[in-house]
Amino acid sequence: MKNKIFAICICISFLLSCTHRDDPKELVKYDKDSLPEYLLLANDYSLTFEHKRNFNQKAFDIIVEHPNDSIGRINLFKVANRFYNMGSWPDYKTTVSTIVHKSREIKDSASLAKAFTYFGDYYVAQSKSDSAFYFYLQAEKIFRKRNDNFNLAKTFLNKATLQYEISDYVGSEISTFNALRALKDEKSITVLFDSYNLLGALYNDLGDYNKALEFHKKAFSVINTNFIPEEFQPKATSYNNLGYVFLSLKDYKKAEFYFNEALGQKKLKQQKTGLYAIVLDNLGYAKFKMKDTSGLPKLFYKSLKIRDSLQLTAGIIASKLHLSEYYIANNDKAKGLQYLKEALATAKTSGNARNVLVALKQLSVLEPQKASVYSKSYIRINDSLQKAERKMGDKFTRIEYETDQVINENQALSMQNRTLFYVFSILCLIGLFFYSYKSQHIKHRELIFRQQQQLANEDIYNLMIQQQNQIEGIRINEKKRVAQELHDGVLSRMFGLRMSLDSINQINDDDASKKRTVYLDELKNIEQDIREISHDLSKEKSELINNFVTILDKLLEDQKRNFETCLTVAIDRAIKWENIENAKKINIYRIIQEALQNSNKYAKAQKIDIVLKKQKNTLVLTIIDDGIGFNIRQSKKGIGLQNIKYRIKECNGKFEINSDTNGTVITIIFPMKPNKHNLKNYDV
């Protein structure tokens, strides 16, 4: 159990001591109110915490007022790094939350994934491993989707470190090798170095020391100061890790050699003070195991002093445990017991259960009389620790599973939405097809209707022409008759009278006077005959002009003869039908015919009134029935009503329909225009 403590310290000595750094390529692109100066001062370690925090907060305030662009988000990451390095956790969390919001607003997945890793780092610092694991997992999904192998590898490594800390060695090993696989085509010395070091520590804890040495040597072999800055002391880290494996192998001589090599690195104390304290303590412990008292217990005290100044709780406990073991071995049980109890108290205060177990185990040896008490506490804490580690491991697995499940559900939902979209599109296309088909069908029916209407109009026109021809024939015959009457009757009689009057023109006796009276009476008879012939001609002309009324009268007579409905018709005799064009007369005829048919067939009317009258320059047709009526809205698409509307439109007319259960009233108004052709024919 004690080895585990040192393994953790050595493995993560490089990982956790590397503060958040700015990418050298991520430069401040704009200068507003001395933003670069504020960022520089916030990173000045010679200033107090409050001064650095204030400068960094000013930088944050300037950036958030700037438009949400890539430069602004890069600078926000710089601000977050500085808050992280100074340990200002609330400010760090606020800054990262702002980056997440801005990244989602602009749909910048790269910045969003990076912000998730920053959240993971935050929860690691807060010792909330499950939350940290969740955010690393979210970042992993985005990096994988973006094929960002470098950042994907770093995220795998962060997950592996969390799994290692809860003793999930299998999970940690898988995650670390995933990181290495992600780096297959990438050249990242830092991630390789950290991955090899973590695998070395992992195999050391598992007791596979050969593999531990293999990976620590691989870590040492990839060190390149062009990629890993010297101030991070990568060689000192590798030497310390190799020494620790030999310490576990009880090859104390080689362990001492590597620890001394680590201490021999330039500026180790100044640049990596925490690592320097670890190496001092490990070197002292190696000397102690070899019974080499040179430099002891000075090395332990020197390490403890540094760790205490840096408030490295785990390191303080390790130093006190080593001092306890040293003094007990040198027969100073009281001092050994003192440091052991101090280590136990610190471990309990910090919540470090593993260090508590190490202290309890040694106390049970030093105080046999209390061994049972210590053993019970040891067993209880160990069981709790194992349950907690197992629970955390299960939680990591559950988080990973639930995240994958959410992704699968989202994919299934996307597939479902896509399917619904396709189905909806197909239905729309089918609907459009049927709509087009229906529209074409209606247009086809309308075309057929117009053709049939044209034929009907032609029939009516032919009928009217035929009627007119018949009337014309009658008129010609009548003219002949009148001519014969005038020639054979009136003219002959007038000629005879003229001759008789000539013969008595010179006679003035009574007999001549009587004859003149007789001749005058005859002239009166001839005048009466001429008046009768004139009256017959006028009557013939009237019949000729009013032949449309005759045709209409025939339609109305058919209605009276074939139906029991009481029909009343009033046609204004002032209407000059010769002034109305034939097309309009045909449409009026058809409208009345359609209205009568509707009243007979659907309205069940007992009475129908038809009024056709002239009002100023218009012709008004009113058709009234006392039938059951109809719903005008529902009947708008009826073929009969469509026919009437079409004919009214052709005549540039207007119409109004009112219908209820008491009957129907149709009012149609036609404009009247003179028919020049008819005027010429009839000379009216």
- pLDDT tens digits along 521-565: 777 777 776 766 666 655 544 444 456 777 777 778 877 777 788
Q: What is the pLDDT of residues 62-102, one digit of tens each?
A: 998 888 888 888 999 999 999 998 888 999 999 999 999 99
pTM above 0.75, yes or no: no
User: How many residues in the chain?
Assistant: 684
Q: What is the pLDDT of residues 404-421, one digit of tens each?
A: 555 555 555 667 777 777
Q: β-strand 607-615 against 654-660: which pairing, if any?
A: unpaired
Tokens 């490089």: give the residue: 14
CA torsion through residues 211, 213, 218, 222, sign:
positive
Q: What is the mean pLDDT of the chain?
A: 77
pLDDT band of residue 116 (cuts 50, 70, 90) is very high
Nearest Cα residue to 295 out of 321, 328, 326: 326
Residues 6+ apart with CB under 8 A from 113: 138, 139, 142, 143, 146, 148, 151
Please tell me the distance from the alpha carbon of residue 393 to that of residue 466, in angstroms, as a whole number.
107
Q: What is the pLDDT of residues 175-209, one digit of tens each?
A: 899 988 888 766 678 888 999 999 999 999 889 99
The letter for the amino acid at 248 is: S
- Count CB neighbours of 343 within 10 A: 26
CA-angle at 27, arms to 26 and 30, nearest 5°: 135
10 contacts 75 by C-beta, under 8 angstroms: no
pLDDT band of residue 280 (cuts 50, 70, 90) is very high
CA torsion through residues 631, 633, 639, 641, sign:
positive
Here the tokens at position 209 are 């020391």
Q: What is the pLDDT of residues 586-631, one digit of tens each?
A: 888 888 888 888 887 777 888 899 998 888 888 899 999 888 887 7
196 vs 9, higher pLDDT: 196
Q: What is the pLDDT of residues 335-370, one digit of tens each?
A: 888 887 787 777 777 665 565 656 556 655 556 655
659 three-class SS: strand
494 has pLDDT over 90:
no
**Domain spanning 564-682 has what CATH number?**
3.30.565.10
Here the tokens at position 52 are 């650095």
For the chain, give every domain's residue range: 422-545, 564-682
129 contacts 93 by C-beta, under 8 angstroms: no
Torsion, CA 559, CA 565, CA 566, CA 572, rounded to 10: -40
6 has pLDDT over 50:
no
Structure confidence at residue 475 (pLDDT) = 66
Nearest Cα residue to 99 out of 128, 57, 68: 68
Phi, psi of 317 (to 5 degrees): -60, -45
List, in sequence order, every residue forming a beta bridge with 624; answer none if it has no partner. Answer: 609, 665
Here the tokens at position 369 are 């009389």
The secondary structure of 516-559, three-state, reads HHHHHHHHHHHHHHHHHHHHHHHHHHHHHHCHHHHHHHHHHHHH
| DSSP class of 18 | S
Q: What is the pLDDT of residues 137-156, one digit of tens each?
A: 888 899 888 888 888 888 88
- Interval 90-115 mean pLDDT: 92
236 contacts 219 by C-beta, under 8 angstroms: no
Structure confidence at residue 23 (pLDDT) = 54
The letter for the amino acid at 162 is: L
Tokens 């332990």: give the residue: 300
Please tell me the distance from the alpha carbon of residue 306 to that of residue 279, in angstroms, as a whole number.
12
- Interval 640-665 mean pLDDT: 83
Please tell me the distance from the alpha carbon of residue 565 to that of residue 542, in angstroms, as a whole number.
31
Structure confidence at residue 488 (pLDDT) = 53
Structure confidence at residue 489 (pLDDT) = 56
Q: What is the pLDDT of residues 296-319, one digit of tens each?
A: 899 989 999 998 888 888 888 888
